[in-house]
Amino acid sequence: MTADEHPTVGDGAALPGDPDGLQRLWVPHRMVYLGGASKPPDDEPGPGCPFCRVQTEDDETALIVARGERTFVVLNLYPYNSGHLLVCPDRHVADYLDLSEEETAEMSAMTKTAIRALREAYHPQGFNLGMNQGAIAGAGIAAHLHQHVVPRWPGDANFLPIVAHTRAMPELLGDARTRLAAAWSAVTGG
């Protein structure tokens, strides 16, 4: 039976399970994220919060790219693109308005340095910067504020996230951390 002869349901759509011409890229490891792994059990600071917990680990293991006096920069464990960074205050705070002036200033400075380091390491042609404050706004970890710094390139948003809810990542997180830590040192002179 050819595709033209294949029976369809009333609206002309193919029956469930019929070939649709799409290839599938299966990434079952994403189920860990979808299942809520690394999500805090509550809104309290401490080892239940991944952003509080990573501050107690060594930078390489925690994927921390840089530390400031009041903030740190870490790779996103579930990145939108290679080099997707998070700028976080050390202090467990959920609301941007609760940041001190010093924390706000350092988050801004760390974001600027993150952009410089990403340009040095990856040569992106644009960036998405943003905070999702509160679960209703899309924050995966709402109790500990964090700003996303996402490098962008032409064609980086392809059909995979839309059709297959999957992202193809060309670099391991540990390799990205090594590359970005070196770039951070290069742009800060340290």
Residues known to be catalytic: 146
Contact (Cβ atoms closer than 8 angstroms) between residue 74 and residue 92: no
Report the amino acid identity of residue 124. Answer: P
DSSP type of residue 187:
H
Structure-token pair, residue 4: 């033209």
Structure-token pair, residue 64: 């921390």
Collapsing DSSP states into helix, strand and coil, what is residue 130?
strand
Contact (Cβ atoms closer than 8 angstroms) between residue 166 and residue 25: yes
